[in-house]
Amino acid sequence: MSSGRSNVIILLGPPGAGKGTIASDLVDRYEMTTVSTGNILRSAMKRQTELGKKAKSYMDAGSLVPDEIVLELLVSHISQMDLSRNLILDGYPRNVAQARSLSTLLGKLGIPLGLVANVEVDDSELIERILSRRTCSKSDCQAVYNTRYSPTKQPGICDRCQSPLITRSDETEEVIQHRLRVYQEQTQPLLSHYKSTNLLRHYSHKDSSVIADLVAKDVEKINVEI
Ligand code: ADP
Ligand code: ZN
């Protein structure tokens, strides 16, 4: 990005929409920074921190972790980040209360919300995509692959760090169904919440790198418009 002014970009979309892949693509190819609350939570769980232990039962069940736990982890993570680049939020906010907390947080940090990117995928595709998803087991990598769409060079081994890949414990068909319901009930209302801000854009394409390109273009436009 050329403007030297940083924005926050929210990635919205159901589980399986490819938000993590789109975010890492924007980081690699467009020099953005990303923070994923799912990754932060999984890493806290693995390290068995106090908050990680509290989050575990919610995550295993595919429910949302209580807002105050996620916010605390997010704030401490963001406070250590370089915020001079465009920041992509993957997985936050997940409900209207979190959207309000985020707005307060960004106000304090003095970084504007530039874009709410909603990734749309047919329901019928989501479950299949999630079931063929494999995640790197190393907490500070957590790269996501798909045995069908984006396989690793060596089966079962992460291309980035050579650690073994795993199927996440919340990726059984039953838990996925629950996560999709949680998305519809709690996260989808964010679409009407953000509609009035004029920052909401919708993206739909099978190839997540095409979506990353479109998002990056829109981010450039915002910088020019302001
Ligand atoms: P996906 O987008 O595929 O659902 P994530 O890695 O973003 O996967 O989230 C996995 C789990 O982490 C969620 O099911 C939920 O339990 C928890 N989680 C992640 N982000 C949040 C959040 N902002 N608020 C509450 N829980 C969250
Ligand atoms: Zn890895």
Q: What is the pLDDT of residues 55-92, one digit of tens each?
A: 999 999 999 999 999 999 999 999 999 889 999 999 99
> Any bridge partners for residue 12, and if so which?
118
Q: Mean pLDDT, to the nearest integer, of 113-134? A: 91
Contacts of 66 (CB under 8 A, 6+ apart): 54, 58
pLDDT of residue 1: 40
pLDDT of residue 150: 87
Residue 11 CB–ligand 1 contact under 6 Å: no
Percent of the chain exceeding pLDDT 90 equals: 82
CA distance 175 to 60: 8
Fold entry, domain 8-191+200-221: Rossmann fold (3.40.50)
Contacts of 56 (CB under 8 A, 6+ apart): 45
State the distance from the centre of ligand 2 to the C-alpha of 109, rounded, in angstroms: 31
pLDDT of residue 4: 55
pLDDT of residue 2: 43
Rg (CA), the chain: 17
Q: Helix 123-131 vs helix 173-182: angle between axes, to the nearest 10 degrees? A: 140
CA distance 30 to 28: 6
197 within 8 A of 180, measured Cβ to Cβ: no
What's the mean per-residue pLDDT of the chain?
93
CA distance 221 to 226: 9
Residue 179 is a catalytic residue: yes
What sign does the dihedral 184-189-194-196 (CA atoms) show?
positive
The CA distances from residue 148 to 129, 138, 207, in Å, are 8, 22, 13
Look at ligand 1, atom 1, and give the residue with the nearest C-alpha. 15
pLDDT of residue 30: 93
Look at ligand 1, atom 10, and give the residue with the nearest C-alpha. 38
